Structure 1
Amino acid sequence: SSPSILPVYEKYNRRSHYVSISMSDRSPRLSYAANIYHGIDLSRFTFAENPSRDYLLFYGRFHPDKGAKEAIAIAQRAGLPLKMAGIIQDRSYFESFIQPAIDRGVAEYLGSVGAESRDQLLGNALALLHPINFNEPFGLSVVEAMATGTPVIAINRGSMPELIDHGITGYLAGSAEEAADFIPEIKKIDRTVCRKTVEERFSAKRMAADYLALYKQILA
């Protein structure tokens, strides 16, 4: 939550049952009833059994926080094609750092993709690059990529170590340079484990069950 709203929440600590979406997003000023991770509808994400795995992917908002510029640097360092998809939230940032890479043929921008294209784009990627520059409370694109079997290489901050099991479903890096160094290792990741992790920990069914259990606990 934004620090500016915390004083309001804090007033209702004794009367409310706050739920965090990750442990990293918790405030020491609030009392929490539970931590319940977001869940996704797995029927909308197909496990890619025979992916092409011939490109890296950036999938998210084009804003300094999300690390699109860093994703380009990682792909260049690795010598691999980069596909990019998402809404342009910061036009100045996009034109300064992303458009030049597109013009040079270093990256391909696909715009904001629909559900079917998203499924194929995520599933066929060698890895999703998630080099965030902020403490992200939760990364839906991380979970969505893993649902298709695609591992994730992310910067180790915010909720990332809660979502990604280092060396099992992806890699957690301390910098863009280190992230690029993990790319040669990415094919060692078992894609079926990525999918299974989402089924067990990040499905909508699991999320609903956790909330129902919490409601019953509160009402008991």
Structure 2
Amino acid sequence: MIHDHSVCGPLTAASRSVPTVVTVHGPVRGEAGDFFAALGDSVRLVAISRSQRAERPGLPWIGTVHNAVDPERFGPVPRGTGPVLWLGRMCPDKGPDLAVHACRAAGLPLVLAGKCTEPEERRYLDAVVRPLFGDDVRLVLNADRSTVDGLLREARCLIMPIRWQEPFGMAMIEAMAAGRPVVAMRRGAVPEIVEHGVTGWICDHPDELPDALLRVGDLDPGRCVAHVSALFGAGLMADRYETIYRMAMAYPGRAAPRGVNGRRRLAAGTVTREGR
């Protein structure tokens, strides 16, 4: 069988004699969802969150498998006392401007560590985000992995003031693996990933963010690490994909039967457990 993570490989799935499993990493609304719908029974789709799958429940989904991180990647990390950290692509959907406003209202310093390589990202930074800067904001652009890991070790917490339905959000599980709570808006997969009041605070309105930032000291970093180890470890992800592969091989030439969603069968339950 073939496991594809792109939108190119599935185009030839119908001509193959082996099953094709496709992990969908982006949103499935609009044209993206129409593309996967047009592939029909030639592919089996894997969602990276329940919220992503719920956007187009009629697509040929075979299961839901959350992304993973090595829970031992950061080692023992003391409670964070540094600045608040924002990680993401420099665009309105990720809310860097909201991060600045929230941290300033809370009286906390902020590090904006963002991808800013495309023209529209640079325009947004210069027109909207940079004018908000003061001595309380530090900008780190296009950081490599070691730099990001260092920022996570220093941070007080991660802020995710997103404006869109985030399909997953790797930054959240990376932060929790480092023992850093997550303060985020209730959008997309956030409620699947962050346990409110245990590994972070989930807010319904941007006005709630400053208070949540001030309350992260109430949360235990060890609970954040344990949460990731239990639900987002690489071994667990591999086990779930192995189950997906067996399911795909069991239904050659057609998509998985409707209803294989983590509840009907024991095998499917080990894949999703409704997103866990």
Same fold (TM over 0.5): yes
1:56 corresponds to which residue?
Answer: 84
2:63 corresponds to which residue?
Answer: 34
Matches within 5 A, 1:137-176: 137-176=167-206
Report the CA distance shift for 1:93/1:5 in structure 2 as closer, same or farther (over 3 A).
closer
Q: CA deviation at 1:92?
A: 1.9
Report the CA distance shift for 1:79/1:142 in structure 2 as closer, same or farther (over 3 A).
same
Q: CA deviation at 1:205?
A: 1.9
CA contact (8 A) 1:48 1:124 kept: no
**2:228 corresponds to which of 183, 198, 206:** 198
Report the CA distance shift for 1:93/1:48 in structure 2 as closer, same or farther (over 3 A).
same
2:48 corresponds to which residue?
Answer: 21
CA deviation vs aligned residue, 1:130-187 (integer Å, no higher than 9, x gap): 0001001010111110110000000001110011010010011012210111122211
Q: CA deviation at 1:199?
A: 1.3
SS of the residue 1:218 aligns to? helix
Q: How far apart are the structure 2 equivalents of 1:7 and 1:81? A: 43
2:260 corresponds to which residue?
Answer: none
CA contact (8 A) 1:46 1:119 kept: no
CA contact (8 A) 1:47 1:123 kept: no
Q: How many residues align?
A: 218
SS of the residue 1:57 aligns to? strand
SS of the residue 1:59 aligns to? strand
1:136 corresponds to which residue?
Answer: 166
Q: CA deviation at 1:33?
A: 1.4
Structure number with greater Rg is 2
Between stretches 180-189 and 7-16, larger displacement belongs to 7-16
Q: CA deviation at 1:217?
A: 2.8
One-letter amino acid matched to 2:185:
I
Q: How far apart are the structure 1 equivalents of 2:206 and 2:164? A: 14
Q: CA deviation at 1:15?
A: 4.2
The reply to whether residue 80 of structure 1 matches residue 111 of structure 2 is no
Unmatched tracts of structure 1, length 5 or more:
none
% identity of equivalent residues: 31
Report the CA distance shift for 1:213/1:180 in structure 2 as closer, same or farther (over 3 A).
same
1:6 corresponds to which residue?
Answer: 33
RMSD over aligned Cα, in angstroms?
1.7
Q: How far apart are the structure 1 equivalents of 2:76 and 2:248? A: 37
SS of the residue 1:138 aligns to? coil
Q: How far apart are the structure 2 equivalents of 1:113 and 1:199? A: 26
SS of the residue 2:159 aligns to? strand
Q: How far apart are the structure 2 equivalents of 1:46 and 1:131? A: 27
1:67 corresponds to which residue?
Answer: 95
CA contact (8 A) 1:46 1:123 kept: no
**1:100 corresponds to which of 124, 127, 131:** 131
Q: How far apart are the structure 2 equivalents of 1:183 and 1:22? A: 26
CA contact (8 A) 1:130 1:153 kept: yes
Q: CA deviation at 1:126?
A: 1.2
1:208 corresponds to which residue?
Answer: 238
TM-score w.r.t. length of structure 2? 0.74
One-letter amino acid matched to 2:108:
L
Report the CA distance shift for 1:7/1:83 in structure 2 as closer, same or farther (over 3 A).
closer
CA contact (8 A) 1:170 1:186 kept: yes
Q: CA deviation at 1:47?
A: 4.0
